[in-house]
Chain A
Amino acid sequence: MSKSNKSQKKIVIPCSGIGKAFGSVSREATYLLTEELNPREYRTMCLPLLVVDDEEAIKMMHSSEIFTIDGCPKQCATVSVRKSGGAIKKAILVAKVLAANKDHKPGTVLDIGEGGRLLAQDIVNKITAEEGD
């Protein structure tokens, strides 16, 4: 697999699903990476901007490497990016990451708990390990 183009910004877009704990985990993982662990290389973008065809957001998406994190198999973040013409570097499904780390089960949408925070870290590891960051 080729390494990233270091000059390109990396954008992480979670689904932020509001009905399930996995949606909150997708959000937690995004902020863990973009706010705490590596804000210099990674940032996030409002997913709803793609839903309303915001020109600035779409332009930024086209000039960046995109990582999506989806809470459920409907994969709204991934579908939205694709419908807006974005190329996804990696699409992560929270349930699949949990399957490989079964002890890291999240709590609720309101409080993902320690398990949810560990799961968020697993997701971040999955992104950064493959990127070599």
Chain B
Amino acid sequence: MSFKPKVGIISCSGEDCTGGNISREATLKALHELRPNETVTICLPLFLAGDEGERSFAKTFPTITVDGCNKLCAAISTARFSSDPSVKINVEDYAECISLNPKEKWRIGESATVVEHIAEEIARQVDRLREEWE
């Protein structure tokens, strides 16, 4: 049986925008509900704090970054401190951040459907990356 790696999911979790909370909630849904045995998470701030474990995982195994806005902090940080993410997901491709309710940066309400869509996309990409792994 061939080896199938776990996929690292890196969420921006941006605190000051609803897109950040959507990225975090979608990532948690994929990690805990949709693909709990096929994924791990990596704390984005640990890249800057200099954790070698986080950096070396992302150098070796496939990663998916999930960003809340077009600044793409998770994707840029992953590339800078480790290696290019295998997949880059941007919440703004699913919903215009300006149209999101700013109150939802704390608790998701009407954006729950966006969270669902992104979580499902993460799961789809996890399956693809594991299938294509050599």
Q: Which of A18, A44, A45, A80 contacts B24 (CB 8 A)?
A: A18
Interface residue count for A (Cβ, 8 Å)?
32
**Quick one: which of A41-84 are within 8 Å of B by CB?**
43-52, 54, 74-77, 79-80, 83
Q: Which of B14, B17, B46 contacts A76 (CB 8 A)?
A: B46
Give the interface residue-count category, chain B. Answer: 20 to 34
Contacts of A13 in B (CB 8 A): 15
Q: A52–B76 Cα gap in the complex (Å)?
A: 7
Residue of B nearest to A70 (CB): B45
Per-position binary interface string of chain B over residues 96-112, scored 1 when its CB falls under 8 Å from any chain A CB and 0 otherwise: 00000001011000000
Total inter-chain residue pairs, C-beta < 8 Å? 91
Knowing A30-B15, A44-B15, A110-B32 touch, does A49 contact B71 (C-beta < 8 A)?
A: yes
Per-position binary interface string of chain B over residues 21-53, scored 1 when its CB falls under 8 Å from any chain A CB and 0 otherwise: 000100110001000000001011111111100
Contacts of B63 in A (CB 8 A): none
Contacts of A106 in B (CB 8 A): none
Q: A74–B50 Cα gap in the complex (Å)?
A: 10
Per-position binary interface string of chain A over residues 15-30, scored 1 when its CB falls under 8 Å from any chain B CB and 0 otherwise: 1111100010001001
Contacts of B83 in A (CB 8 A): none
Contacts of B43 in A (CB 8 A): 15, 17-19, 23, 76
Q: Which of A18, A31, A54, A83 contacts B28 (CB 8 A)?
A: A18
Residue of A nearest to B15 (CB): A44
- Besides A18-B27, A47-B15, A76-B43, 13 new A-B residue pairs in contact (Cβ under 8 A), listed by A number: A13-B15, A16-B45, A17-B45, A18-B24, A43-B16, A48-B44, A48-B77, A50-B48, A52-B73, A52-B76, A76-B46, A76-B48, A80-B45
Interface residues of B (CB under 8 A from A): 11-17, 20, 24, 27-28, 32, 41, 43-51, 71, 73-74, 76-77, 80, 103, 105-106
Interface residues of A (CB under 8 A from B): 13-19, 23, 27, 30-31, 35, 43-52, 54, 74-77, 79-80, 83, 109-110
